[in-house]
Amino acid sequence: MVDKSVFIKIGMQNVNIKDLTEASEVIKYLIKKYSASEIIKKTGVDKNVLYRLEHQQNITLENWLKIKRCFPELFVPDNTEIGEIPIMGQLTGNKVLPLNPAQPKIFNAPKKAIEDWSPCVAYINNQPNAFTGTVRVFSTRGIDDTKINQQCFNRLIIIFPEDELPRFGVCRPNEKWTTWQLLDAYTGEKLSSGKINDEINWWRYTFTTSLYLMENETSQQYNQKNTEQWYHNVHKLSHD
């Protein structure tokens, strides 16, 4: 049986490794096969990370995932593991509203999927054309979420302007790609606008699914730590 406490320490929630001793054996095997310099170059981790793993010491989740993603053939996913995506609010039209006390605060999903999307959050979907009981999942994986850029264009996104309420809509550029507008996805109403590279945090819409996809499964707080700092930074103004 897998030791979950060890997994939490080094971020190995989805791999068939039982303890730090086995993790040490994995990294020693990789160093022997590829060399430490090649691993550092490929993964981007510091040499001290390899040293700590070799000597059965804890490392951060971020560093472990860098290694895992660069050498996926060594790891066996456990597709039965369930994690939690925090539900940050609800979407009604273009408005991003807080949850009421009766609404759920988490959404269960496969941990492997959460790892692939992380950091990610969910919003209850109260849109005019939405099925009852669905959530929209948003992610910042693989994007520059600190400013409005080309990755935003022609996508459904949530923006978090400073000193203003968050807004949900479609981001459209002008013909020269020098300015942008956020439009209501249903009415086309202009909600916000600005110049390219405006420093505004944003999250990209990923998919919509049933809120009850895995409601009967037991989950663990896997994704929460990946979003706590983001939540603090983005929502600080609205809670001050």
Across 159-180, average pLDDT: 93
Q: Which of 195, 157, 198, 203 is nearest to 174 (CA)?
A: 195
Contacts of 138 (CB under 8 A, 6+ apart): 120, 121, 122, 123, 157, 158, 203, 204, 205, 206
First CA to last CA distance, the chain: 45
Same domain, 174 and 155: yes
**What is the pTM assigned to this prediction?**
0.61
Read off φ and ψ for residue 35, nearest 5 degrees.
85, 150
The yes-or-no verdict on residue 24 having pLDDT over 70 is: yes
Cα–Cα distance measured from residue 18 to residue 63, given in angstroms and rounded to the nearest whole number: 18
Q: Which residue has the higher pLDDT, 26 or 224?
A: 26
The domain that contains 137 carries what CATH number? 2.10.109
pLDDT value of residue 117: 84
How many other CB atoms are there within 10 angstroms of residue 130's CB atom?
15
Mean confidence (pLDDT) of the chain: 80
Does residue 135 contact residue 150 with C-beta atoms inside 8 Å?
no
Range of the domain at 17: 4-74
The yes-or-no verdict on residue 7 having pLDDT over 60 is: no
Number of domains in the chain: 2
Tallying the residues shown for the chain, one arrives at: 240
Same domain, 25 and 135: no
Each residue's pLDDT tens digit, 82-105? 788 899 999 988 999 999 888 888
How many other CB atoms are there within 10 angstroms of residue 92's CB atom?
16
Same domain, 133 and 170: yes
> Would you place residue 229 in the very low, low, confident or very high pLDDT band (cuts 50, 70, 90)?
low
How many other CB atoms are there within 10 angstroms of residue 13's CB atom?
21
pLDDT value of residue 221: 54
Cα–Cα distance measured from residue 168 to residue 24, given in angstroms and rounded to the nearest whole number: 45
pLDDT value of residue 8: 37
Same domain, 232 and 121: yes
Same domain, 9 and 88: no
